[in-house]
């Protein structure tokens, strides 16, 4: 079945019939506080090795939180992290979570050529698989940087052995987003089972609002975030795709100098509230890894 944009719908989880159980997908973008795209104007990748890393301890704290709630998640992990902390990547896999790729060094897809992108996702996949001891099938672009100009990226991912991407946020944003993209999972490639799984949104009065986590989950009241997630499940009959970063549970992280007011607000606001909010959210369950929610039924 082809949808209005020419993509092929993923009927197994795109929309579920009334009464069907809904599993929501939890994901973590594993990068450190100095590696986020908003810090690029003041932090050079060449200087990353000079920063005190906090990603390992923060990720272990998240793993412990998931264990307490019996939740599993997909950890979209930088190859840079896997190279320096292979034991962390192994621990993620051994504790029942999915290890997936976030590229090598958090470089936006939109700033790479096709050859550069292929080399990046191939190297990251190899490093992650070597560290985890399992196959890597998922990918998430840095800063949701797949655009209409990079429609070749899905084909390259499929050719490199990936089964799905979760790289599009179907909203309007000053740094990312494809406002008219499909809201549910879809097949972007003709004749292929490869999936694109967008971050969750809701539609109200013809406008799309983000509800898939990250900074929005910190900035908005918890009750509003939960209401929007329930709306995705109950009204749209779709799984909710939620994401956050290890640095978001770390209010003690160093504050970066030289960043703008907007970046400072987005990055540091309510960091102290994030962990208890996640604790509360996970109690609503069930939350499962991306491949279990979206690939298992497809493969049956």
Question: Residue 24 pLDDT > 50, yes or no?
Answer: yes
Task: List C-alpha distances in Å: 112 to 67, 78, 152, 241, 245.
Answer: 37, 16, 11, 26, 23
Question: Please, is 64 exposed, middle or buried when counting C-beta atoms within 10 Å of its C-beta (0-12, 13-18, 19+)?
Answer: exposed
Q: What span, in angstroms and rounded, lies between the C-alpha atoms of 165 and 59? A: 22
CB 123 within 8 A of CB 112: no
Q: Which CATH code is given to the segment(s) 21-299?
A: 3.20.20.370
| Rama region for 206: left / alpha / beta (φ>0; ψ in -120 to 50; rest) | left
* Mean pLDDT value of segment 11-39: 78
Backbone angles phi, psi at 228, to 5 degrees: -65, -40
pTM: 0.92
Grade residue 94 by pLDDT with cuts at 50, 70 and 90.
very high
Domain boundaries, the chain: 21-299
Place of tokens 């949104």: 201
45 Cβ contact list (under 8 Å, min separation 6): 105
CB 297 within 8 A of CB 13: yes
Most confident by average pLDDT, 20-24, 115-119, 178-182, 213-217:
115-119
What per-residue confidence (pLDDT) applies to 117? 98
């Amino acid at each position: 079945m082809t949808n209005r944009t020419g993509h092929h719908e993923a009927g197994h989880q795109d929309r579920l019939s009334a009464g069907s159980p809904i599993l929501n997908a939890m994901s973590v973008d594993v990068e450190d506080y100095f590696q986020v795209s908003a810090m690029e104007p003041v932090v050079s990748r060449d200087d990353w090795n000079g920063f005190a890393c906090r990603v390992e301890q923060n990720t272990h704290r998240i793993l412990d939180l998931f264990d307490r709630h019996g939740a599993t998640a997909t950890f979209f992990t930088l190859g840079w992290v896997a190279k320096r902390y292979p034991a962390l990547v192994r621990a993620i896999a051994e504790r029942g979570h999915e290890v997936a790729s976030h590229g090598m060094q958090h470089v936006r897809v939109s700033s790479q050529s096709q050859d550069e992108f292929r080399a990046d996702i191939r190297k990251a996949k190899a490093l992650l698989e070597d560290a985890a001891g399992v196959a890597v099938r998922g990918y998430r672009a840095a800063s949701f940087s797949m655009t209409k100009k990079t429609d070749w990226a899905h084909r390259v991912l499929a050719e490199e052995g990936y089964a799905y991407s979760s790289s599009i946020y179907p909203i309007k944003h000053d740094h990312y987003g494809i406002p008219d993209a499909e809201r549910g999972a879809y097949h972007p490639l003709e004749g292929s089972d490869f999936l694109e799984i967008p971050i969750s949104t809701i539609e109200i009065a013809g406008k799309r609002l983000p509800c898939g986590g990250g900074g929005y989950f910190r900035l908005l009241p918890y009750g509003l975030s939960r209401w929007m997630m329930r709306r995705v499940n109950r009204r749209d009959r779709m799984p909710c795709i939620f994401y956050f970063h290890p640095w978001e549970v770390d209010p003690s992280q160093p504050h970066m100098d030289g960043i703008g007011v907007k970046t400072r607000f987005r990055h540091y606001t309510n960091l102290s509230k994030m962990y208890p909010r996640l604790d509360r959210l996970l109690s609503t369950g069930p939350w499962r890894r991306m491949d279990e929610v979206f690939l298992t039924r497809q493969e049956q």
